[in-house]
Structures are given as structure tokens and as C-alpha cells.
Amino acid sequence: MAGGPFGKIDFLDDNLVAFDPLDGSSIFSANFAVGAIFGVWAGDRLLNRRGAEQAAAAYAVFGPRTTLVVALPDPGSSAGQVVQEYALAHEDGSSTWSLIRKNIQIGEKKVFAPANLRAAAENTVYRDLISQFITDEYTLRYTGGFVPDVHHILTKVLKQKRLYENQREQLYNQQFNMEQTSFAMESIKDTAQTVQAMKAAGAELKTAFKKQDLNIDSIEKMQDEMADLMVDHLGYYLQHSSAMSREVDMHNELQDVMGQSFGVPDDIDESELMGELDALEEELAMEAENPTAGAVPSYLQVENPPGTPIVPPQDILSRPRRNRRSSSIRGAISETYVSPANLILPVFIHDGEKNIPISSMPGVDRLGWRHGLLSSVAEARSYGVNSVVLFPKTPEDLKTRTGEEAFNPDGLVQRSIRLLKDKYPDLEIYTDVALDPYNSDGHDGIVRDDGVILNDETVEFLCRQAVSQARAGADCVSPSDMMDGRVGAIRRALDREGFSHVSIMSYTAKYASAYYGPFRDALASAPKAGQEHRVIPSNKKTYQQDPANYREALREARLDEAEGADIMMVKPGLPYLDVIRLLRDNSSLPIAAYHVSGEYAMLKAAAERGWLDEREAVLEALMSFRRAGSDIILTYYATQAAKWMAGED
């Protein structure tokens, strides 16, 4: 390519080009400007090349007109490069590039384009950066396209720079003209005074020398010639003082307007107005005599209710309530945020087509595994909740003492995973790893005849279950069984089967809580009564944590982290906020909190009776999880909470 915007750069022999052909494709239909981005590197290799190594770079803007901004090497310049802008013109059936800006430079300007505002809800560092720009009064430029935003900032700065330079030049010229005119007027005044002085001196000379042998006529003639000369000089300055005269005229007009008196409208009571002004004058005088008494002007004061005690202001320098006085300041300094991205929606599924309401969880259904499941997930996704965890209701005839249905490749969970991934490939799917939905005894592990929950044997089946779920397409397996060593065993099993990319969210601190009742009702997974010649524990206290224990959670957390857990969970959530904070302060892993079925049912029951505001109570609960240190919240309110966050009822 011998000419054009890229000068003499030879693309064919010495350089390689990398380009994005259409930046801003998502905003193309909105008729916004879009663009293309080009990078040119010398040599025959593109991989691992830095931007600073480019031989040239460019971007094209496709909008009301087509322009190309090119950065080229320029050894003769101080910067070593030059940036130029070309415009594409169409004439007589041909297209030509014309140079419209020779040397573009970005001046100092408080403008920023954040590229992806949605990321601010998910990344606190990015959100803090944007907040700092806003605090520093930067102007936001955001169309959703990288090229148009960059070009807007670049050309906007250039236009404003030129405007500023033109205005500065005009002001300088105006100032110079004013100074010249002022000097001329002063010279006129001096000349006039000189003429008057010379006339007076001439008269005195006539009187003084009338009796002398002098040629008075000659003196008068010389005086007249000098006066004529001074008058000519005066006329010259008067001729060139028109600009000053215009300024004087404008000044006089302003003085005339300011000196006019204006009548009071008929509907104004002048006496009442004067009375108010007199009262205000007296008040200002009193405030001047006693400055502390009038800290707030009377017209800004709100009267206290009758009976309020009159007390002097406290001598307090720091008043925290100042930072709570308005929704704007409260929002600006809020320390904790909750967004739909923080939420996981737990869904109950069954091997049928119709949704079945769960009586102990109003508003929650056992979903038909096809249409009901897809519909529920679609609604959640429409409000920004893109993560679900599956809990199956297994038919009683498929349950056994060892729970082999848990790793059936055509089981309910496995089929549901494949269905969801086929419809929504980017959906984040979490699965529950435990035997209680499949165990005829209702326990998370295999129950021996004497009532002992077998640990290592159960872990073997949990590994098979996790691998089966990963093979179906699960993104994250979540062992909730609380067997010892299960996290490490599952991690090794997944890696051995080629699923090293599948995450583990461990139920690290799962307490033997009374808040699980509605959940067990939904899945019919409560421990069963003992049978003849067998002992079946009526609770899960031999493997779930004691609610009285706090430090034990830290021990479990250290074991899970060492065994390869990617996320650690605390369950239940609200009664164990202290445990969430304990794990947050002692681990860098993400922390999840489960807003369990009992907590959900309590809020629903109180709201139905009008005892509390459901929306405010739920959002406060979610905020408390985040404030305590959780990154992820599993809640049956996920979709509804996302609607509330979006401003819907």
C-alpha cells in the first residue's frame, strides 16, 4: 500500500494486521456509531506481542460519516509518533481519503467512558473506581461501544480546546483594543488640557507684552498655528476613539436602566411587604449581635412540636447522623451492596409435568422437570439471576438403603441438567451431593443396622454421584452430607474423570438445625422411624454440626480448604451470621450463605399476617448476609428479590 492513511507501510511483505471488524455490534441496531480496530506489527508473529510494539494502529468510525484515526511512527516529533484523522469522501463514483486533522493530541479533560457499567455491580474495585470518577466530577460518556466512546472523548477534547483557544484570542484582542482606546482617551484629555493651558498663556503674554516693542501679531499667529496643530491632533484621537465611545454608551445605558424605578404590581400589599422587610432587618441585626443564636436562619427552621424541651446545642464535633440525612448521601457511602449476581435460586423438581405447591413454603412449587423448570429459570434469568441449585423429589419406589439412584445417568437431576444446559448454555448449575433424597432411611449417608452412619462407604457413593452430575453438565457440585474427608475424595474423583474444571461448593458449616423442616417436607427426606431389628437415628446430629459450637466451624473450614473446596457454605444463614464472619475473616475463599426454608417460611407467615413488610425484611436479611461476609446467597426469594431490586413489586 503506497499511499493513503497508512503512508508507506507495506502490509504484504513486512507486517501483520490484527483487527476487530465490528466493535459495537450490539448497538448497531440502535443506529449508534460503531467501528473497527486495527493493529499493525512488524514481522511474522502476532502472539504475545505488546501494544507498544505496533508499527501502526488505527480505528475506523462508521457513523454519520466514515473516518479513520491512524497512529504512525514519526521519528522527527518529540513523541516519536503522530496521530492523524482522515475522512472518506465519495465523489463521481469513487472514494478518496482526505486528511482533516494533522496532529491529534488529547488535552486534559475530566471525561471517562466505563466500557461496561454492569460490571460495577459485580466487581467492587471497578465500582469504587467509577464512584471516584463521579465524586471527582468527571463527565460520563457511554454508548456501549468502545470505538465511539474513545472517538467522542478524543474529538470532544479537540473541539473544546479549539473553542477555548478562539475565545482566549478574542478576549485578548478585546483587551488590547480596550487598552488602546483607553490610552487614546487619556491622550485626548491631556491634549485638551494642553490647548486650554496654551490659550491662557497666550492671553497672559498679550497683556504682559502689550507695552513692549514686540510683534504681538507674529506671536498670535504662532499661537494660532500651534492651536490648530493641537486641534488636528485632537481630531485624530477622536476619530479613533469610536470603540471606547461605544463602550461608554453601553455603560451609560446600563446606568440608566439601573437608575429606573419600577412600579410594584397591583396585587402586592406594599405595607405588608415593608413590614416583612423590617422584621427581617431586625432579625438580621439580632443575629449580628448574637451569632450563635441564629445558626440557622428562621426561614429555614422547622418548628418543633409543642412540649419539646428547649435545650442548648450539645458541644459535639462529630455527628454521625449528618451522613444519614438523605437517601443520596446514604447511597453514596453504603458499605454493602446486594445484586442479582450474588443470588442462587434453589429449585425443587419432580418427575412429572405439573407444578405442585409446597404447603409449608407459600409461593414455592415442586416444579415439573421440563416446562415448570424451564419457565422458572427463564423468569429468574430475566431479572439477572443466572445461577440455580437443583433438589430432586425422588419417588419412594426408587429409594434404597444405599441410594444408588443418586448416580443414575438417566436420573431426574442428570436429565434436568442436560435440559437446562441445552436451553441455557451459560446458566450456572449447582447440584446437591448427598444421599438423603435417595436414601430410604432419610439420612445423608448409609445407615448400618445399629444406627451408625457409615462414613467412608458413603463417601464412595458421593464421589460416584458427583462425577455423574459433572458428566451431565453440572458446573459446581455441592456436598451437603457432612461426611469426613468427602471434599478431598470428590476432588480427586472429578480430576481423575477429566472434570478438573468443575467446582466444589462445600457445605462447610452445616448445623443440625430446626430450620430445615419445610425443605424436608418438600423432598420427603426426613429421617424415617426405626424398623424391627434396626436402629435409625431420628436426627442428623452425629454428622451435622452442633448449633452450640463456633470454633468447630473454623476447623471444618480449614479441612475443606486444604482438600480443594472452591467455595465454603454456612447453613442456615441468619442464625449463624457470626460463623459467616468467622470464615470470612479466616479464609480468602468465597463464602456462601443458605437462607433456608425455615427462614423463608417465617418471613412469609409474618408478612401474610401483616406483621412486617415482606420486601423490606427480605432485602434486609440479604443485606445482613452480605454485611457478615458472604459473597453468595442461596435463597428461595432470589427471583422476587431481583424484581424488587429492579423496582418492581
Chain segment 52-104, per-residue pLDDT in tens = 788 888 988 887 778 888 988 877 777 677 888 888 877 766 778 888 777 77
pLDDT category at 473 given cuts 50, 70, 90 is very high
CA atoms of 270 and 279, how far apart (whole Å): 14
pLDDT category at 385 given cuts 50, 70, 90 is very high
pLDDT score, position 161: 56
Residues 6 or more apart in contact with residue 213 via CB below 8 angstroms: none
pLDDT digits (tens, 9 = 90+) for 574-621: 999 999 999 999 999 999 999 999 999 999 999 999 999 999 999 999
| Residue 320 counted as domain residue | no
Do 470 and 414 contact (CB within 8 A), yes or no? no
The mean pLDDT value for 368-380 works out to 95
CA atoms lying within 13 Å on the CB side of residue 578: 7
pLDDT category at 264 given cuts 50, 70, 90 is very low
Mean pLDDT of the chain: 82
Do 2 and 8 contact (CB within 8 A), yes or no? yes
CATH label of the domain that carries residue 402: 3.20.20.70
CA atoms lying within 13 Å on the CB side of residue 619: 18
Residues 6 or more apart in contact with residue 241 via CB below 8 angstroms: 181, 184, 185, 188
Using the predicted structure, report yes or no on whether residue 363 has a pLDDT greater than 50. yes
| Residue 517 counted as domain residue | yes
Using the predicted structure, report yes or no on whether residue 185 has a pLDDT greater than 50. yes
Sheet with 15-23, side-by-side order of all strands: 15-23, 34-42, 54-62, 66-73, 81-91, 94-101
pLDDT score, position 19: 85
CA dihedral 355, 358, 359, 364 (to 10 degrees): -90
Min mean pLDDT across 153-167, 243-257, 557-571 is at 243-257
| Residue 52 counted as domain residue | no
| Residue 545 counted as domain residue | yes
pLDDT score, position 15: 81
| Residue 209 counted as domain residue | no
pLDDT score, position 522: 86
| Residue 107 counted as domain residue | no
| Residue 101 counted as domain residue | no
* Three-state secondary-structure class, residue 593: strand
Using the predicted structure, report yes or no on whether residue 123 has a pLDDT greater than 60. yes
pLDDT category at 210 given cuts 50, 70, 90 is low
Candidates 453, 462, 572, 450; CA nearest to 510 is 572
pLDDT category at 533 given cuts 50, 70, 90 is confident
Catalytic residue among 510, 540, 604, 643: 510
pLDDT digits (tens, 9 = 90+) for 12-32: 457 888 888 887 776 666 667
Catalytic residue among 393, 399, 540, 571: 571
435/150: higher pLDDT? 435
pLDDT digits (tens, 9 = 90+) for 400-442: 999 999 999 999 999 999 999 999 999 999 999 999 999 999 9
pLDDT score, position 638: 97
Residues 6 or more apart in contact with residue 603 via CB below 8 angstroms: 612, 614, 617, 618, 621, 637
Q: What is the pTM of this model?
A: 0.56
- Ranges 115-119, 254-258, 627-631, most confident: 627-631
Domain total of the chain: 1
pLDDT score, position 98: 82
**Is residue 571 among the annotated active site residues?**
yes
Residue 12 φ/ψ, nearest 5 degrees? -75, -40
| Residue 90 counted as domain residue | no
552/273: higher pLDDT? 552
Cell numbers for 607: 408478612
Cell numbers for 336: 454493602
Using the predicted structure, report yes or no on whether residue 164 has a pLDDT greater than 90. no
pLDDT category at 184 given cuts 50, 70, 90 is low
> What percent of the chain is modeled with pLDDT above 90?
46
pLDDT score, position 46: 74
Domain that holds residue 398: 340-645
